[in-house]
Amino acid sequence: MNQTELVDKYSELAGKKKRILDEIEREMNKLKEEIVNYAKENDVKIMFGSNKNLYVNILKNFKFPPKSSEQRNILESLLKELNRWGEISTLDTFALNKIVLNEKWPVDVLERVKEFGRFEEISRLSLRDKQEVVVRGFG
């Protein structure tokens, strides 16, 4: 296959995959809602199928304000003021990765931090719609 055929085939399959996965996701979400309702109404935690058992766990979650919101900043300040920040704060490896890759800290600090990780290569393919290129003259 030539370059155009390779890209076109990849694009075709990626689109097909997305459509199929979206449809499956919609069906599963609808079914999940029915399953949870059945489990609640019948007070069951295990449902039995022909070949599989389905374990239903219904958990309560407490939702906090999103990152970078004013409410989140106020909450973080409150936790620090109450001396509770150390109990819930964690290392943000995504932020640390950006610091290492962009060499934002002094070399001696970066070298010590790098001892705990390794560089790796990640391959990603990204399809985009073609944009019409407009060439304009100067003048």
Domain membership of residue 88 (yes or no) is: no
pLDDT string in tens for the chain (139-residue length): 999 999 999 999 999 999 999 999 999 999 999 999 999 999 999 999 988 999 999 988 888 999 889 999 999 999 999 999 999 998 899 999 999 999 999 999 999 999 999 999 887 766 677 776 555 665 5
User: Which residues, other chains included, contact 50 with Cβ-Cβ below 8 Å and sequence gap of 6+?
Assistant: none
The pTM is what?
0.58
Q: Is position 30 within any domain? A: yes
Residue type, 19: R
Candidates 87, 78, 116; CA nearest to 100 is 116
Residue ranges making up the domain that contains 2: 1-59
Counting the structural domains of the chain, the total is 1
What is the pLDDT, as a whole number, of residue 62? 86
**Does residue 85 form part of some domain?**
no
